[in-house]
Structure 1
């Protein structure tokens, strides 16, 4: 199954009646944790359908206010056919979350209250635990999160950091830009939900374990468990980095029924 096939199935009403987007909004952040040498930016498009909010990360600055405003009031069926893949993913995420809420088929994990770095490290620990890699294994990390690399290093696990933006990790390691070039050299894969936009297929074909950590498409990616994915750490809006209070992640080890 591909992302496009899942979109087509949803558009045909296979998962239930399609609603209407009541609102759309973006969330933007600039991050520089204490003690970290570098920082980064995030921007996320979110679409609300009924009680559910679906999200998809986008390149910062790529969405203008008129485009976001134009989503509100449109039927989900139209959004699933939108030219922008981020709109399609956010709408699909909201629709699937309304039909298959995380609380019905996942294990909740609480990230305790704390500052931004403490919450980032705790969240990353739960993601790495889902994969449970051992010393001597090599993990391909698609979508570099330094807190995840921190926990792999603490376990004595080798890794290949990969992100299309390139650059270097907190420890000065070069970041690869093409995940496909390194799949054959790695035992397992940890990947961000952003691979939904254009990089999921080769990861699903990898024979080793694949754990996905998803703010983008948190209700979409669990449908790939058993179809190449091993587990998903799903994090619907509001995300852990939005405040200092406790946050809930949802761990999926099987696909929604």
Structure 2
């Protein structure tokens, strides 16, 4: 699989006939104890059968009515929705329902929000080889902290703008930085904002390691393994930041 649209077409042409039973938008703010910066997450989630599919969105991008409008709608119809976030969440839910995660399970043990963030970050960065410079698309300070501890340089890139916990400015254009990195570490949110495929194509062409950490599209991104994506940390709903108890991620491509 090399494009999101081709995967959507494949699922749309399959026998799937499920409807969305529950839809919701999670609006979350966080400032971990001991950290100097706060952040916000907004996520659209759709329940299909026994599964929940999700797509992170920029704060204020969608109002709650988008969730209400998805309830009771066939997945196949939502796969043609005009909004990319709805298409991604519907695709994620459909794939999660038909192909639930079954390998690479790892428990993120209970703890404070910062403890769980750091545990997840260590598990994600373990999927990267010890390359010199990592392009980080979708800044998470705990991931940068792990790279710093391992002596790896990074280029922090995020649409939202701002600075890292260490005062480094977010760089706005990931594609302009591809020539300066040895590996790519990207959020699943790149699926939702349309920036995933240029990263995938670059990794496929150059052979650079490309690791995704996916709350958005956790069931979608493993389908791109071997087509430029080398490893995935898949984290289906409920995410680690929603609960202080143990939560689960699924890691694909551990051999990398």
Deviation at 1:175, TM superposition (A): 1.1
Structure 2 partner of 1:23: 22
Partner secondary structure for residue 249 of structure 2: strand
Report the Cα distance in structure 1 between the residues aligned to 2:64 and 2:50, rounded to whole angstroms: 23
User: Tell me, which stretches of 5 or more residues in structure 1 are unaligned?
Assistant: none
Matches within 5 A, 1:110-125: 110-125=107-122
Partner secondary structure for residue 182 of structure 1: helix
TM-score normalised by structure 2 residue count: 0.94
Report the Cα distance in structure 1 between the residues aligned to 2:121 and 2:64, rounded to whole angstroms: 32
Matches within 5 A, 1:92-131: 92-103=91-102, 106-131=103-128
Report the Cα distance in structure 2 between the residues aligned to 1:243 and 1:165, rounded to whole angstroms: 25
User: Tell me, which stretches of 5 or more residues in structure 2 are unaligned?
Assistant: none
Tell me whether 56-65 or 191-200 shows the greater mean CA deviation: 56-65
**1:64-103 deviations in Å (ceiling 9; x for gaps):** 2322111000000110000010000000000011111102
Among candidates 134, 152, 155, match of residue 150 of structure 2: 155
TM-score normalised by structure 1 residue count: 0.94
1:18–1:95 Cα contact (<8 Å) kept:
no
**1:95-153 deviations in Å (ceiling 9; x for gaps):** 011111102xx21011110000000000000000011324xx10000000000000000
Structure 2 partner of 1:227: 227
Matches within 5 A, 1:195-234: 195-197=190-192, 198-205=194-201, 206=203, 207=206, 208-234=208-234
2:188–2:221 Cα contact (<8 Å) kept:
yes
Matches within 5 A, 1:1-257: 1-13=2-14, 16-103=15-102, 106-134=103-131, 137-197=132-192, 198-205=194-201, 206=203, 207=206, 208-253=208-253
Query: For the aligned residues, what is the CA RMSD?
Result: 1.1
